[in-house]
A and B are shown apart, each in its own frame.
Chain A
Amino acid sequence: GAGVSQSPSNKVTEKGKDVELRCDPISGHTALYWYRQSLGQGLEFLIYFQGNSAPDKSGLPSDRFSAERTGGSVSTLTIQRTQQEDSAVYLCASSLALTVEGNEKLFFGSGTQLSVL
C-alpha cells in the first residue's frame, strides 16, 4: 500500500484479555516505531526496530507489552492481561534507514484506538 496501515482501527476488549495490534509499514522502510497516545496527550515512545539490529525496547511500560517484527516488515504489538490504563491510541510509524541522513522523516498510520473495559 501507499502508506502505513494499521489494524484494527478500533479494538474494545475486557480487562485481563490479551490483544494484538498490527502494523504494515511502507514497503522498503527499514525503521519501524510504536508510539502510544493517551487522550489529549503527546506521543509516548514504546519500541523501535531498525533493520536487523536489536530493537530499542526502552519505552515499553511493563513486561505485559511486547512487539515483534517478522521478516523486517509487518510488526505486531501485543499487550497481555490488558488493564484500563492501557486504553489509548497506538500509533505505528515507519521510515527509511535512519543511518542515512535525510531519512529521518516518519510516516504514521492512523492508529488503533484501544479501549479496555
Chain B
Amino acid sequence: GESVGLHLPTLSVQEGDNSIINCAYSNSASDYFIWYKQESGKGPQFIIDIRSNMDKRQGQRVTVLLNKTVKHLSLQIAATQPGDSAVYFCAENMGGGNKLTFGTGTQLKVEL
C-alpha cells in the first residue's frame, strides 16, 4: 500500500502577532538547550540557547522559557514577520561532551 510520511506540526500566525513554539525534551539530565531555525533549502541556523540554571532568556524579538519540572521548552517570537516562516527545532545536550539531540520540529507559517 501507499506509505505516508510523518508531517511536522504546523503553527499558523498572523503577521504582527506573537508566536509560541513548544518543545518537550526527553532527558532530565540535559543541562543545555538550543533553538534552531531552518528555512527551505538551507541548513539550520542558531536562534537562542539557555542553560538549565536559568528559566528564561531573551534575545532580539525572541525569548526562550525553560520549565525543568515538566521538561518543557518554549520559543516565543514577538511581532512575527514573514521572514520568520521556517521550521523550528529544539535540541538538548546532557553535557560532558555529549551530542545534541534534536526534536522533530515545528513548521511556522506567517500569514499576511
Contacts and interface: CB of A to CB of B under 8 A. Distances in A.
Most chain-A CB neighbours within 10 Å: which of B6, B43, B96? B43
A97 B7 CA distance: 34
Most chain-B CB neighbours within 10 Å: which of A93, A106, A111? A106
Interface in A26-68: 33, 35, 38-43, 45, 48, 50, 56
B5 interface: yes
A43 B8 CA distance: 12
A111 B45 CA distance: 12
B5 A41 contact: yes
Nearest to B98: A98
Interface in B1-17: 5-8
Contact of A91 (B43, B100, B103, B105): B43
Most chain-A CB neighbours within 10 Å: which of B91, B93, B96, B100? B100
Contacts of A98: 93, 97-99
A56 B100 CA distance: 12
Given A38-B5, A40-B6, A104-B34, A45 B101 contact: yes
Interface string B13-42: 000000000000000000010101000011
Contact of A42 (B34, B42, B97, B102): B102
A45 B49 CA distance: 20
A42 B93 contact: no
Contacts of B95: 101
Interface of A: 4, 33, 35, 38-43, 45, 48, 50, 56, 91, 93, 97-99, 101, 104-111
22 contacts: A33-B100, A38-B5, A39-B5, A40-B5, A40-B6, A40-B7, A41-B5, A41-B104, A42-B89, A42-B103, A42-B105, A43-B89, A45-B101, A56-B99, A91-B43, A101-B32, A101-B95, A104-B32, A104-B34, A106-B46, A108-B45, A110-B41
The 4 closest A-B pairs by CB, nearest first: A108-B43, A42-B104, A43-B102, A99-B97
